[in-house]
Each structure stands twice: as C-alpha cells, then as structure tokens.
Structure 1
Amino acid sequence: MIENIFKLSESIRYVAIYRDGQLESKAKSNMLDASSSESDRYEELLVNPTLLKLASQRGNIDCGGLEYLLVRYGNFFQFVCPISSGHLSVCIEPDADPIEIGTKIKLLVHSDS
C-alpha cells in the first residue's frame, strides 16, 4: 500500500502504516526540511495514536465520527487517518493541496479494504 500511496502525488514525502503494533514506513530521500527518522518513529508510535484517540472519542459523541486529522506543521502537512487496527500517516509538501491528496488517499485505502 505504501508504494501505491506514493504514486498518488509527487508531493507525498513520507508514508507510514502502524497496524497491530507494527510500524512500516518509507520516506523519499533528499527532502528539504525533513524531520528525523527517529522523530517520525515517535510521532507514529505516540503522537498520532493519541491524537486519533482523542479526536475519535470527541467525534463519536455527536459529530458523526472521525474521518481523518490534518496537522499543519511549519515544514509540511501530516494527514493521519484511522485504519483497521491502527492508522495511516502521510507527510505532504507544504505547497500542495492536502485535502485533495487526502481524498485520493482515503479512496485508495477504502478500495484496498
């Protein structure tokens, strides 16, 4: 699935799938303003699962659930969506349209389910 996500846009810098306690990720090489691989690892193991849990609990109360989170860091966007037994996380260039790319990602994920 990671390679198929990269094919969706040249603006995708990094893709991670965290499922059943296992992390698989891949990043493009030679990116400007990229975060470290160790930082990315902790984001996938700690930050993104926590954000998804909090937003999902809120969304499930009376908002119709949670489809995805979009975080705008200074150097990039981070698109995070829940998947079966985990989450998918995609780093997107700051000058790209993250909603358009996120929509393509969601369609791909749902077609692979």
Structure 2
Amino acid sequence: MNSAATNADPYERIFALNNAIRYVAIYRAGKLQSRQREGLAGASSGESDRYEELLVNPTLLTLARQRGNIDCGGAEFVIVGYGNFLQLVVALPDGHVSVCFDRAADPLDHVEAIRKAFAP
C-alpha cells in the first residue's frame, strides 16, 4: 500500500489494496455508507446492495459468530461466492465492512489489511 493511501479514509485504503475490489460498504453504529468503482460489469443494484448490508450480512455474521463461539474460537469474517463476484464480510466491534472482489481475486489475501483500515 502506498503512503498516500495510508493516511486516506478507509474506503481509499481498501480500494488501494487491489484493483479487483469492486465495492466497499461500511455499516457501523447503525449507519451504512458505500462506494463502488465506476464502470463495473455485472454489478448488483444499489437498492439490492443496501438490503444486503442491512439484513443479510449482519445475519450471516451473527450466525457464524454464534456457531463459532460454541467450540471453534469465534468467527471473524464470512465469504459469499456469488455468480459475478466474491463478497468478504468482516466483523467490526460496532458493525461490519463488506468488500466485493472480482471472482479471480482471493479475498483471504486481504482480510488483515482490511481490519487494519479500521484500527484506532
């Protein structure tokens, strides 16, 4: 990551990680904000993305956390493989960050860097 991206907002830091990142949504303290790269093929609709971030992704994280807390050491993230892209959803103390990747990318390569974008 270059030094200009180091001081940038979390969206810029995350988009700077890989050109395969299509979309970033941050849902914290009940507030949702998102950004998308321009000119994407196969992108989902903004309204669909909104409901995914407000309903689906928090539910997936809750289910994974509850299962993980039984005897797996917790759960920190979920990856969903959609037809056109991969969605990485990383738990934050007060919400989540959702990062959409082109199918050819490996979201696991970026989990720690995405977490660092939200470190104090």
Same fold (TM over 0.5): yes
1:63 aligns with 2:77: no
* Residues in 2 aligned to 1:98 and 1:5: alpha-carbon distance in whole angstroms: 12
Instruction: Return 5+ residue gaps in structure 1 as ranges.
Output: none
Amino acid at match of 1:88: V
Aligned residues: 111
Amino acid at match of 2:75: L
The Cα shift of 1:98 comes to 1.8
1:31-84 residue CA offsets vs partner (Å, 9 max, x unmatched): 010000111000000000011111100001110000210111010000001102
Residue 106 (structure 2) aligns with:
97
From 36, 48, 55, give the equivalent of 2:45: 36
Residue 72 (structure 1) aligns with:
81
Secondary structure of 2:96 counterpart: strand
The Cα shift of 1:27 comes to 0.4
The Cα shift of 1:17 comes to 0.5
Residue 45 (structure 1) aligns with:
54
The Cα shift of 1:96 comes to 1.0
- Equivalent pairs: percent with the same residue? 55
